[in-house]
Amino acid sequence: MSAAEKARIASFRSRDAARLFIAGRLLCRSIIGRMVGCAPQALTISLTPHGRPYLPDHADIDFNLSHTKDRVALAVCRGGRVGIDIEQPDRLSETEALEIMPLILCERELDDIQRQAPEQRHKAFLSYWVRKEAVLKCRGRGFLDDPRDIALGPADTTANMSKRSFYEANFIRSGSCRSENAPNFLWAVAASQMLSEPIWQQHRDIGA
């Protein structure tokens, strides 16, 4: 860990949050270090002014991290930007989801939720949530940008709703994952270029 990363770890009040940060950095250094042919500890990870990690010595490689409870996910992309979000289905209650829907979804998406059967609305909203967050993280500013200015298209792309905010589409893949002895979660990966189905690899030893 760098001095800045150690300072970040020391700033966490929650032990679980610190462990997830450490796991994410270890995952980055292990996987990306192997990709570029350098020792994990030699990999330089910097932060943009908006707090997004990047590789100053490898401009052709972009990466992004997400976590939910005890699970950390890393997305890596060559030649473009990438964002990832993973969420557990029980992260938000139905009441909480109803309260924040108007803050996340554009009018068209809200109408789509209302057309769903009542028992499907919570799941449909979480699907929107995970995809939108992946897009916002891909674009580099996260929720500093208004998610209502992005409309999710029917063909795994985004459309810009506000010219002042964004000028390009993103390509999205999403789904759900479950594994033995671990809770299932929803995932979405967004990229600035055409995106094939992600290749998943599990690394059980990182969290240890």
Q: Note the pLDDT tens digit of each residue in 138-180.
A: 988 888 889 998 888 665 555 544 444 455 667 888 888 776 6
Residue 151: name the closest of 208, 89, 106 by CA: 106
Please list the residues that pair with 54 across neighbouring strands: 46
**What structural domains does the chain harbor?**
79-191 (3.90.470.20)
Query: Residue 193: its pLDDT value, please?
Result: 80
pTM: 0.85
Which residues in the chain come in under a pLDDT of 70? 153-169, 179-183, 195-208
Strands (E), 106-201: 150-152, 158-160, 171-179, 182-191
pLDDT of residue 105: 93
What's the chain's Rg over C-alpha atoms? 17
- Closest C-alpha among 40, 68, 70, 65 to residue 51: 65
Q: E strands along 119-167, which residues?
A: 150-152, 158-160
Instruction: Say which residue the tokens 């290749």 belong to.
Output: 199
